[in-house]
Amino acid sequence: MPILFLIVFIDLLGFGLVIPLLPFYGLDFGAGTTAVVWLLGVYSVAQLVSSPLLGRLSDRFGRKPILLLGLGCSVVSYLWMGFADQLWMLFAARFFAGAGAGTIGAVFAYVTDTTTPEKRARGMGFIGAAFGLGFTLGPALSLVISSHPTARELAIPLFIAAGLSTLAFVLAAIFLRESLPAEARHAVSRPSRLDFARRIISHRPVLLRLITIGFIVTGAFAALESTFTLWAREKLAWGPHEVALMFIFVGALLTIIQGGLMGRLTRLFGETRLLIAASVLLFFGMLGVPFVWGVPPLVLVNIALAGGMALFGPSSNSLISREAAIDERGGILGVSQSTQSLARVIGPLIAGPLFTEFGRNAPYWAAAAAMVIAVIMAFGLLRMVPAEAEVS
C-alpha cells in the first residue's frame, strides 16, 4: 500500500500542477467559455469509455499492467500538450489523458485486494489522501513555476508533469507487486460490460443506488468545478494565483480528512452514515456559493465542499466493493468510475450554458437542486445496508 500511495501521489502531483492553469491556457489559445469548460470535460468523455474496459482488463490480466498503461498515457499526454501550438491539439491530448485515467478503477481494486472489509474505507481514504496531497502540492508548485500562464510558460509545468508521471511509471514497474491472485485472474466467468450493467440494474439494488448517488454527486461537483475559475474571475477578479491557492486549501483539507481521520470516522459511524454526511455537506456547500461575497464565506463554502468530497469517495468505494466478488471488483469499480465519468461530461455540458445564459450563479443553484435527490437516496441506504456491514 505505501508504494501505491507514492505512485498515485507523484502522478497526481503532476496533475495538480497543471489543472489550475489549464483554463487560462485555453483562454490564451483563444477558447471561449464553453470551450474552456469542455477542455476540462473532454478528459471525462474518454474516461467514460475506458474505465469499465480497463477495470475488466485488470480483473483478467492483473492490476499492475493496467496501472502502468495509465501512467504511460499520462506521460504522452503531457508532452503532447507541452508541444501543442493549436487548440485542437490540447483537446486531443486531454482526450488521450482521460483514456489513460480509466485505470482509476484498477487503483481502487488494488486497495480492495490488499485490505479486509473492516479496513477498506481506511485504505480508500489512504489512497484518497494521495490524491489530496497531489492536489495540494501541485498547485503550490505551479505558483512557483508560472506567474502569468501564457502558452510558452505553461509548457514548463507540462514538461515537469510528464517527468513526474515518468518517475511514477518507473517506480510502479520496479516496486509495485501484483495484488490480484492468479486463480482470480483465471476465473472462467467473465460477463461483458453490458451484462455487468444489466446485473446491477436488475439484481443489485444497493449497488444501483450507490452508483446512482455517485453519478449525481460527481455531476453536481463537476458543474461547480468546471465553472469555478470563471466564476472566481468574474465575481472576485481572481487570477491563476488566487485559484491555485484555493486548490491548495481544498487539497490540504482532503489530505487531512482522508489520510488522518477516515479510519477513525469509519469506526465511529460506518460508511453509510459517512456517505449521508458527505451528501449533506456537499448540498450546503453548493447552495452557499451564490451567497459568497468575499474570501471568508468562500473559505467556509470550500470547507463544506472539501469535507463532503473527502468523506464521499472512500465511503462510496468501500460500500461498492463490499457488493463485489474478488474477480469482479475491477469491473464493478470500473462501471462505477465510468458512470462518474459520464457525470463529469454532463455536469460541464449543463453548467457551461447555464453560466453563459443565466449568470455565474446558475450552475450552483442547479447543483444544489441535484444534491437534494442524492441526500434523499443516501438516507435510503440506512434500511438497505445490513447493520453488521457497518461494524468495523
For 203-232, give the DSSP string. H-HHHHHHHHHHHHHHHHHHHHHHHHHHHH
- pLDDT grade, residue 365 (50/70/90)? very high
More confident residue, 257 or 188: 257
pLDDT at 199 over 90: no
- pLDDT grade, residue 217 (50/70/90)? very high
pLDDT of residue 152: 58
Q: For residue 233, is it within any domain?
A: yes
Residue among 275, 262, 311 nearest 119 (CA): 262
- Residues 211, 339: contact at Cβ < 8 Å? yes
Residue among 336, 27, 110, 49 nearest 211 (CA): 336
Tell me the average pLDDT of the chain. Answer: 80
- pLDDT grade, residue 377 (50/70/90)? very high
pLDDT at 388 over 50: no
CA 220 – CA 213 distance, rounded (Å):
11
pLDDT of residue 230: 81
Q: For residue 77, is it within any domain?
A: yes
Mean pLDDT value across residues 221-242: 82
Domain enclosing residue 69, as ranges: 2-176+192-385
Q: Which amino acid is it at 114?
A: T
pLDDT at 252 over 70: yes
pLDDT at 373 over 90: yes
Residue among 314, 202, 334 nearest 260 (CA): 314
- pLDDT grade, residue 194 (50/70/90)? low
pLDDT of residue 143: 66
Q: For residue 184, is it within any domain?
A: no
CA 20 – CA 251 distance, rounded (Å):
12
3-class DSSP state of 107: helix
More confident residue, 214 or 341: 214
Domains: count for the chain: 1
pLDDT of residue 240: 67
pLDDT at 114 over 60: yes
Mean pLDDT value across residues 51-58: 77
Contacts of 26 (CB under 8 A, 6+ apart): 35, 36, 39, 87, 90
3-class DSSP state of 330: helix
Q: For residue 308, is it within any domain?
A: yes
pLDDT of residue 391: 43
pLDDT of residue 62: 84
In percent, how much of the chain has pLDDT > 70? 83
Where residue 124 sits, what CATH number does that domain have? 1.20.1250.20
More confident residue, 192 or 76: 76
Mean pLDDT value across residues 21-34: 74
In percent, how much of the chain has pLDDT > 90? 16
pLDDT at 367 over 90: yes
pLDDT at 341 over 80: no
Q: For residue 205, is it within any domain?
A: yes
C-alpha cell, 100: 489513460
CA 183 – CA 178 distance, rounded (Å):
13
Q: For residue 224, is it within any domain?
A: yes
> pTM of the prediction?
0.70
pLDDT at 15 over 50: yes
Mean pLDDT value across residues 165-183: 85
Mean pLDDT value across residues 221-249: 81
Alpha helices in the chain (DSSP H): 2-18, 22-28, 33-61, 63-82, 87-100, 104-113, 120-145, 151-175, 182-185, 193-203, 205-236, 240-256, 262-269, 271-288, 295-322, 329-358, 362-380
